[in-house]
């Protein structure tokens, strides 16, 4: 058997459709001997590069892609690699890449590939140690003691995925097929536009209605019944809401990059996050300004929306942004993690920030400000 390690980078995923600009790979035998050295296939995505991709995830200058062939010209080559009956495909968070290939096939009217695959991210998560890293970079450092030099370069990421799996195999004293046999739930198969994947979220995971105001403790009231942390909420008309509006008007940049990553952008986030994370939003708004951007309470004033799971409440701002896109208006939609990554922070880090001192804003009476309502539609409270 041969083992194809691969990784994909995309110019954007607008309208839930990926546009591939590179596919990197390397091929080994069952003992991790290199049969075909790493290679990065550069592809003209025939679409624009997302701002975040262009600023944070490009291993090459954008200018070179205009002269590259488009995906259909590589189709037969990729098909031969992926559908080889003696080949098993392996990636890191591989289901994303599986979908990316399906998207480009669909975009160009091509038949998707049929192949078996395994996910290294799920395999490392089942290890008795070094199993807490969430991304390729941290996992490589944990298992191999290596810091990657060319993150988001597809051939390097594919090769590093192989190194992680090789280290895990050595830990167990197994070769590659023996290791994969240990984790059948980490494998799957794709055919046409369907995908069967062995790993499933534990029953009920992601289905509970979790209130964003508190954490579940042993022998305590279930999370969905717990009272929210009202001190960290800001419903329309509340003191916190009024303070937040005044705070937005007073923010000055404290530091900037060259170039600032959000220069010229107007940002908003889903109400499900904003409402229940008052203190975090204060820090986020400052970080956004530090990066040259501006935070807005109105979806229609924004050109970037970062989404958060709003549960049964639904995501009002996402609905407005999707309507704007349908009408041809310029607004990009990304998960809130993209914003956290851009600002080099995380939900956990923000939650541990000390309570911000807003005493200077309380010197004047905090008025109930109508502007806190989202002006994107009729005045729905924020």
134 & 249 share domain: no
193 & 296 share domain: no
The tokens describing 209, both together, are 């209605």
Distance between start and end Cα atoms, the chain: 56
190 & 288 share domain: no
Closest CA relative to residue 188, chosen from 200, 179, 176: 200
Q: With DSSP H G I counted as helix, E B as strand and the rest as coil, what are the percentages for the chain, rounded to 5?
A: 40, 15, 45
Whether residue 134 lies inside any domain: the answer is yes
Whether residue 206 lies inside any domain: the answer is no
Burial of 8: CB neighbours in 10 Å, binned 0-12, 13-18, 19+: buried
Whether residue 7 lies inside any domain: the answer is yes
- Calpha distance 306→319 (Å, rounded): 12
185 & 111 share domain: yes
**H helix or E strand, kind and range, residue 100:** helix 94-107
37 & 173 share domain: yes
Residue where one domain finishes, among candidates 197, 215, 245: 197
Overall residue count recorded for the chain in this entry: 382
Digit-by-digit pLDDT tens for the chain (382 residues) are 999 999 999 998 888 889 999 999 999 999 999 999 999 999 999 999 988 788 777 889 999 999 999 999 999 999 999 999 999 999 998 988 999 999 999 999 999 999 999 999 889 889 988 777 668 888 888 899 888 777 789 999 999 999 999 999 999 999 999 999 999 999 999 998 888 877 554 444 443 333 333 334 344 333 344 455 678 888 878 889 889 999 999 999 886 656 678 888 999 999 989 998 999 999 999 999 998 899 999 999 999 999 988 777 788 899 999 999 888 888 989 989 889 888 888 888 898 889 998 888 876 544 444 445 454 443 443 4
180 & 232 share domain: no
Residue pair 25/63 in contact (Cβ under 8 Å)? The answer is no
Q: How many domains in the chain?
A: 2
153 & 255 share domain: no
Whether residue 215 lies inside any domain: the answer is no
- Calpha distance 5→21 (Å, rounded): 17
Confidence at residue 219, expressed as pLDDT on a 0 to 100 scale: 40
113 & 182 share domain: yes
**H helix or E strand, kind and range, residue 148:** none
Here the CATH number for the domain that contains residue 139 is 3.30.420.10
What is the residue range of 36's domain?
Answer: 2-197
Whether residue 262 lies inside any domain: the answer is yes
Whether residue 210 lies inside any domain: the answer is no
Residue 265: φ, ψ to 5°: -100, 145
227 & 100 share domain: no
- pTM of the full structure: 0.58
Confidence at residue 108, expressed as pLDDT on a 0 to 100 scale: 95
64 & 150 share domain: yes
Confidence at residue 101, expressed as pLDDT on a 0 to 100 scale: 96
- Calpha distance 149→36 (Å, rounded): 21
DSSP secondary structure string, 196-262? EES--PPTTTTTS---TT----TTS--GGGSPP-GGG---TTSHHHHHHHHHHHH---S---SS-TT
9 & 138 share domain: yes
Whether residue 203 lies inside any domain: the answer is no
25 & 149 share domain: yes
Whether residue 166 lies inside any domain: the answer is yes
């Amino acid at each position: 058997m041969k083992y194809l390690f691969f990784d994909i980078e995309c110019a954007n995923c607008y309208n839930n459709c990926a546009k591939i600009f590179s596919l990197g790979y390397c091929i080994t035998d069952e003992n991790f001997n290199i049969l075909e050295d790493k290679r990065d296939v550069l592809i003209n995505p025939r679409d624009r590069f997302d701002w975040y991709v262009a600023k944070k995830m490009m291993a090459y200058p954008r200018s070179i892609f205009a002269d590259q062939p488009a995906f259909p010209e590589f189709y037969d080559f990729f098909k031969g690699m992926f559908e080889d009956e003696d080949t098993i495909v392996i990636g890191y968070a591989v289901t994303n890449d599986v979908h990316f290939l399906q998207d480009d096939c669909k975009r160009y009217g091509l038949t998707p590939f049929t192949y078996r695959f395994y996910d290294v991210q799920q395999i490392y998560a089942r290890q008795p140690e070094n199993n807490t890293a969430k991304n390729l970079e941290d996992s490589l450092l944990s298992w191999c003691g290596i810091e990657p030099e060319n993150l988001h370069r597809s051939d390097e990421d594919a090769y590093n995925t192989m190194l992680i799996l090789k280290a895990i195999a050595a830990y167990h004293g197994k070769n590659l097929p023996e290791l994969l046999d240990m984790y059948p739930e980490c494998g799957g198969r794709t055919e046409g536009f369907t995908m069967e994947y062995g790993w499933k979220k534990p029953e009920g995971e992601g289905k509970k209605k979790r209130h964003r105001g508190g954490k579940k403790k042993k022998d305590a009231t279930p999370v969905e019944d717990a009272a929210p942390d009202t001190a960290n909420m800001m419903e329309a008309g509340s003191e916190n809401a009024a303070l937040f509006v005044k705070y937005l008007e007073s923010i000055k940049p404290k530091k900037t990059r060259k170039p600032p990553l959000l220069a010229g952008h107007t940002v908003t986030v889903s109400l499900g996050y904003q409402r229940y994370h008052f203190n975090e939003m204060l820090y986020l708004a400052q970080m956004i300004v530090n990066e040259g951007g501006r935070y807005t309470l109105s979806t229609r004033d924004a050109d970037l929306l970062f989404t958060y799971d709003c549960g049964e409440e639904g995501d009002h701002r996402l609905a407005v942004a999707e309507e704007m896109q349908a009408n041809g208006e310029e607004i990009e939609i990304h998960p809130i993690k993209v914003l956290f990554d851009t600002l080099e922070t995380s939900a956990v880090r923000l939650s541990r920030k000390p309570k911000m001192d807003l005493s200077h804003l309380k010197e004047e009476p905090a008025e109930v400000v109508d502007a806190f309502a989202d002006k994107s539609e009729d005045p729905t409270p924020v």
